Amino acid sequence: MVKDMTMKTTVRSALRFTGAAGPAAALAATLLIGNAHAATPTPEIGFVQVNPDIKLRRLVVHNARAKGTVLFLHGFPETLYAWKDVASSLGQDYEVHAFDWPGYGESSRPGVDKFSYGPRDYAKVLVDYISTTGIDKQRLVIYATDIGALPALMAAVDDPAIARRIIVGDFAPFNRPQFMQERLQGLKDPATADAVHAAFNRTRDEILQNAFTRGLPESSHYEVSPEFKADMARGWQNGALTSADAFYQYYTRFTRDQDDFEANLARLKTHVTVIWGEKDIYIRKEMGEELASRAHLNLKLLPGIGHYPHLQDKAATISEVRAAFDAE
């Protein structure tokens, strides 16, 4: 009890010192309070073969007394290192998983004759991962962003019991190019897709440097860890396929799978929460508003937040996951 009171006093003092300014202070408070009860778990990184053609690099935080399991699904141009900090914090109470999608980080990159890298293919990878690892779907919360979100919802349409709850955000569930950034519109249009694809590969360094804060005022810029940056750069090309190539292949099947999801939207029965960065310039909030309205889902717009809420405000992401477990 004395230790807990001392730690909470320390947190209050730290917040007074910083003026409780922004997500960094909130994350510090979250981590400090958690550390009053247990040491911060260390994520383990390894590999798992989920089908004959796909081996995934994955991150796991084990917890012998886990209250449930969290599975994080990343977007472009990320790798599983996007989740390392939030995984360490949530690992004090939950088992936490994340993996590199095929085409990213150190996961497999089979030829497109074996794997198309489209949303439907990624949905199958997600299902295979849950099955292979033996995750209890009744105690599972999935948090999926960007290219990871549509596969999660497509899996949920096929299997409403895929998870207890799903949190999705900042993605394109429907074929609405008018809500997408101009470069993404260009990637979606077959007439310009090849040129945009080539530009993505030429500008790798610029993408990795600026993608996360693009469109945000300078006062809202934030840093991603050097470890995460190095992992994205190292994993951009693995064999003949780059992450930009995988992204391009995803887009060649994107409209087909968006149309399929929209046609089957009424079959979405899993509990889903939609979160959206209000300042997202890649996929505008109108996309999230339409999804929430048509599927009767709860929508949370995040003021001052861009396309990557889990990086810009990690404490809020942690709180969102905890709230999903607490919800009935």
What's the CATH code of the domain at 187? 3.40.50.1820
Give yes or no: residues 101 and 227 share one domain. Answer: yes
Structural domain boundaries, residue 27:
1-37
Q: Are residues 61 and 6 in the same domain?
A: no
The predicted structure's pLDDT at residue 20: 42
The reply to whether 8 and 56 lie within a common domain is: no
- Structure confidence at residue 97 (pLDDT): 98
Shared-domain flag, residues 83 and 186: yes
17 and 147 assigned to the same domain = no
245 and 124, same domain (yes or no): yes
**Two tokens, residue 254:** 């994107």
Q: What whole-number distance in Å separates Cα of residue 303 and Cα of residue 311?
A: 15
Indicate if 88 and 17 belong to the same structural domain. Answer: no
Quick one: tokens of 38?
């247990």
Q: The whole model's pTM is what?
A: 0.88
Say yes or no: 124 and 215 in one domain: yes
* Shared domain check, 33 and 93: no
Strand ranges (DSSP E) for 162-254?
165-169, 237-238, 241-242
Q: Within 10 A of 322 (CB to CB), how many other CB atoms are there?
A: 18
List Cβ neighbours of 50 (8 Å cut-off, separation of 6 or more).
Answer: 56, 125, 128, 129, 131, 132
Answer for the pair 153, 173: CB distance below 8 angstroms, yes or no: yes
| 108 lies in the same domain as 31 | no
Report residues of the chain scoring pLDDT below 70. 1-39
| pLDDT confidence of residue 41 | 85
The SS3 assignment for 299 reads: strand
pLDDT of residue 70: 98
Residues 138 and 15 reside in one and the same domain: no
Phi, psi of 241 (to 5 degrees): -105, 130
Number of domains into which the chain is organized: 2
Same domain, 282 and 303: yes
